[in-house]
Amino acid sequence: MKVGYFQFNPKFLDIDHNLNKIEDMISGSDTELLVLPEFFNSGYAFNSIDEVKSAAESIPNGRTTDFLINIAKKENMYITAGLPETDNDQYYNSSVLVGPKGYIGKYRKVHLFYKEKLFFKRGNLGYPIFNIEDVKVGMLICFDWFFPEAMRALALNGAQIILHPTNLVMSYYQEASKVRALENRVFIVLSNRFGDEGDYHFTGRSQIVDPQGKILINSGENIEEIRSIEIDPKLACNKKLNEFNDLFMDI
Amino acid sequence: MKVGYFQFNPKFLDIDHNLNKIEDMISGSDTELLVLPEFFNSGYAFNSIDEVKSAAESIPNGRTTDFLINIAKKENMYITAGLPETDNDQYYNSSVLVGPKGYIGKYRKVHLFYKEKLFFKRGNLGYPIFNIEDVKVGMLICFDWFFPEAMRALALNGAQIILHPTNLVMSYYQEASKVRALENRVFIVLSNRFGDEGDYHFTGRSQIVDPQGKILINSGENIEEIRSIEIDPKLACNKKLNEFNDLFMDI
């Protein structure tokens, strides 16, 4: 399975621009499973609830999800992407998973970072697992990485690949991802944005990590690029460290 | 509080030698809380249950624990050290905590590594917390680090300092310790051995890490040394990352 990420610098509250950018970049890609950053369609640095309102959409049946489904059908790929969601007058920092057959599922960020708490509700959907053909995947969003319980919950439920849209302002995770992958024996696709917005500097360095904690590919801090690599998701089903230790039987 | 470790190369099954070594090295130290490696008194590479039997002791009321208590009284310090324990014809990979007033408590390694499973029982005492004056500490042993639940349990129960005797043959933890300290906002005193024994090569690089994930002091891979540093354990009580995020309230 060819998995990849697109690292770019979204324009704040310019959804037209951001969606067009994605469409241009993805066109003709042979990536089978692509991860876009957190809030890829809206940018990050919301200053008011009105700004959030102006960008948030329903998932499914919102403009951005429909747009992603169209690309997924056209390019015959699966896409995970972060976007602000509205539901019953509440707002969530969410990610969506779509594929060639349409909408598959969504995740709502549990661990809100910093001023996100001013505008967004804590995720209330748990850590759901989705199937991409015969591969089990789960989503996390950015700061969720800091809490080992989050990826552990996904891995214990069978996730082989962690699809992880981020807007990282700290740069711990680009090192710590190796530990998260290793302790759970999963693949991680970390799709970060780069650039500056408001008071925030985003740290790029998107990467794909294997179940041994090895960084397979990664990007620089300030570069726009789409990268992908062939992986064997079945490797994530093997939790054995040696003939005596199985990391999940030993917990 | 001045905390430290002693990194050395124990002689296999030569308890006299190993205890004498410790006594010599500690004499006159101003360390208040010292951590010795896993199986510091016996060495690691047991080949038979008879070898384990010949080295295992009661905790408390065993030769090594009594020896450590005498040093702790003489030097007015607290000591944590790993040793093979026997209890009711079972064997445990244990650590003991003693101080100037005598025996304080013990921990039995939960996550047995590799061939330890041939001879030792999985720890059955949970992850207990002990008080050193007004500071709460907990113990882990070596491979326990791989499982985030172990240190999390100690930290959630208030441990400010993780006393961590090891015999690391892999060298992941010397990097991953930063993540464990950071995610739990605790100090870690990682006391590893060095040298070769049987098929095992031990990786040294003992270290003390602060709650921000910063390595305060560390040692090389093949060096015998006692190192210590002054820390403020109260820093581990602050789980706030910023004005909106408290790492333990956010879990």
Tens-digit pLDDT profile for residues B193-246: 999 999 999 999 999 999 999 999 999 999 999 999 999 999 999 999 999 999
Q: What is the mean pLDDT of residues B87-96?
A: 98
pLDDT of the residue at A51: 98
Does the active-site annotation cover B224?
A: no
Token pair recorded at residue B183:
């995610």
pLDDT of the residue at B135: 98
Which 8-state DSSP code applies to residue B168? -
Q: What is the mean pLDDT of residues A234-243?
A: 98
Which of A179, A180, A188, A209 has the highest number of chain B CBs within 10 A, making it the mutation to test binding with B? A179
What CATH class has B2-237? alpha beta
Q: Which residues of chain A are within 8 Å of residue B121 when distances are taken between CB atoms?
A: none
Largest CA distance in chain A: 57
pLDDT of the residue at A1: 98
Is residue B40 within 8 A of residue B26, CB to CB? The reply is no
> Helix A15-26 vs helix A63-75: angle between axes, to the nearest 10 degrees?
10
Token pair recorded at residue B138:
């907990």
User: Rounded CA gap, B221 and B16, in Å?
Assistant: 25
Residue B115: pLDDT band (50, 70, 90) is very high
Which of A245, A246, A247, A249 has the highest number of chain B CBs within 10 A, making it the mutation to test binding with B? A245
Q: Which amino acid, one-letter code, is at A63? A: R
Does the active-site annotation cover B142?
A: yes
Domain layout of chain B by residue ranges: 2-237
Largest CA distance in chain B: 57
Is residue A238 within 8 A of residue A226, CB to CB? The reply is no
Closest CA to B5 of B225, B162, B230, B185: B225
* Four-residue CA torsion sign, A48, A53, A59, A65: negative
